[in-house]
Amino acid sequence: MRMRCSLAVRVSLTRLLSLSWIAVTQMVRTLLSLDHSRRKEEPKLIAEKLKSTRSGIMPTGYRPIVLIADDLDENRAFYSDLLEDDGYQVLTAEDGFQALELIRTYPIDLALVDVMMPKLSGLAVCSQIKADPATCLIPVVLITGCGAQDRVDGIERGADDFLTKPINRRELLARVRSLMRIKRLTDDLERAETVLFSLARSIEAKDVYTKEHCDHLSEYAVALGTRLGLPDEQVVALRRGGIVHDIGKVAVPEHILLKPGPLTAEERRIMEQHPLVGEEICSPLKSFGAVLPIIRYHHEKLDGSGYPDGLVGDEIPLTARIMATVDVYDALTTDRPYRSAMPRDSAFIEMWREVDLGWWDGSLVEEFERLINS
Ligand SMILES: [Fe+2]
């Protein structure tokens, strides 16, 4: 069984990665079509081409894109020449608003932002980049004219590094290269997460009755975890866990996964492997460390009658108990082949009956009911 599961998992991942490779090939073609000699003359055209490379996958030979925001022509020219000679692609902005427009539109890898700019200061630009989930991972280097106070302000706004005028060429390149290395690692992590989420959603999409189940679970679990005051790391794990908790179902044959009637003993045995297979798929990702207990234990019950390990009471991690609570609620309140969706009140009556049976954590059901009714 384990060998069959692993094979199925590998086949699905290979299929996904081959799709990614087609995207990579298209991006390489797009980047090769960029004409270096025209780049300085036609920034808008180049920007349009850069826009077409926004797919989240880095092709071989990719040249990272640096945004330079500075109101002085000579400064922009100085930074551009330096960075282009070092192999980067450059987009330039003359003020803060233009910088934000570019950073929201194009796949910028790093922003070099002068603190003193008209209309919108570099500090305000930095704040807005870091406040937007879509751009917050882009490293921001603030260029300051004075020193200590700008740095303190910049740190408070999430700046990743600082350069003080007059700019030292070697220092600028060293800082940009260092931040680009970190950015590359962050991008790799994001891509791995994207592949896992795509796989999880493709499994979910097989069953019309579980449509959007992952997103519901993710939202419910985050809301409940936040209400309980869980640390950020665990709330993030709940968000990810909501999406990937059933990823191990990739190894469950469709005739079992989509069977409308009750499963045979052998079919149930195969189905109950999915938490273990899911844990195996996600375990290579270090950033998913806190997600693994959610995946493995989301079908455990407090009285030990759950699977795969038959854990009892507090042996089941809190995050897995949260996921189980919201999973049951979402299952009860959505249509199934054998019954219609229950109204909210009926769902909680059923959940409290199952709390009395010793399955679910009553304190979590109570808190979740308050949350849903609030
Ligand atoms: Fe599950």
Q: What is the mean pLDDT of each run of 10 residues along the chain (374 residues)?
A: 41 40 33 33 42 42 90 94 94 95 94 92 94 88 82 86 90 93 82 81 72 85 96 94 92 86 92 94 87 97 97 97 96 81 94 97 97 93
| Ion ligand 1 neighbours, Cβ < 5 Å | 246
| pLDDT for the residue 337 | 67
**Cβ pair 91, 102 in contact under 8 A:** yes
Residue 274 alpha carbon to ligand 1 centre in Å: 7
| pLDDT for the residue 38 | 32
Long-range contacts, stretch 212-217, CB < 8 angstroms, 24+ apart: 213/330, 213/331, 213/334, 214/242, 214/243, 214/244, 214/245, 214/246, 215/242, 215/243, 216/242, 216/326, 216/330, 217/242, 217/243, 217/245, 217/323, 217/326, 217/327, 217/330
Residue 173 alpha carbon to ligand 1 centre in Å: 49
Residue 17 alpha carbon to ligand 1 centre in Å: 24
Q: How many residues does the chain have?
A: 374
Quick one: how many helices (H) and strands (E) in the chain?
A: 17, 5
| pLDDT for the residue 21 | 36
Q: Indicate the CATH number for domain 206-373.
A: 1.10.3210.10
**Cβ pair 328, 224 in contact under 8 A:** no
| pLDDT for the residue 152 | 82
Residue 367 alpha carbon to ligand 1 centre in Å: 22
| pLDDT for the residue 143 | 93
Residue 246 alpha carbon to ligand 1 centre in Å: 5
Residue 2 alpha carbon to ligand 1 centre in Å: 17
Alpha-helix runs per DSSP H in 33-93: 36-39, 43-51, 73-85
Residue 297 alpha carbon to ligand 1 centre in Å: 9
Would you tell me the crossing angle of helices 213-227 and 169-205 to the nearest 10 degrees? 120
Q: Indicate the CATH number for domain 2-187.
A: 3.40.50.2300
Residue 326 alpha carbon to ligand 1 centre in Å: 12
| pLDDT for the residue 209 | 62
d(CA 179, CA 113) in angstroms, rounded, equals: 14
Residue 188 alpha carbon to ligand 1 centre in Å: 27
**Encoded tokens for 89:** 């692609």
| pLDDT for the residue 61 | 67
> Is residue 166 reached through a cis peptide bond, with omega within 30 degrees of 0 on the bond before it?
yes
| pLDDT for the residue 231 | 94
Q: Where are the domains of the chain?
A: 2-187, 206-373
| pLDDT for the residue 91 | 96
| pLDDT for the residue 212 | 76
**Cβ pair 308, 272 in contact under 8 A:** yes
Residue 233 alpha carbon to ligand 1 centre in Å: 22
Residue 296 alpha carbon to ligand 1 centre in Å: 9
pTM passes above 0.85: no
Long-range contacts, stretch 349-356, CB < 8 angstroms, 24+ apart: 351/325, 354/328
Residue 285 alpha carbon to ligand 1 centre in Å: 20
Residue 226 alpha carbon to ligand 1 centre in Å: 22
**Encoded tokens for 20:** 């990614």
Give the Cα-Cα-Cα angle 341, 343, 344 (nearest 5 degrees): 120
Residue 128 alpha carbon to ligand 1 centre in Å: 38
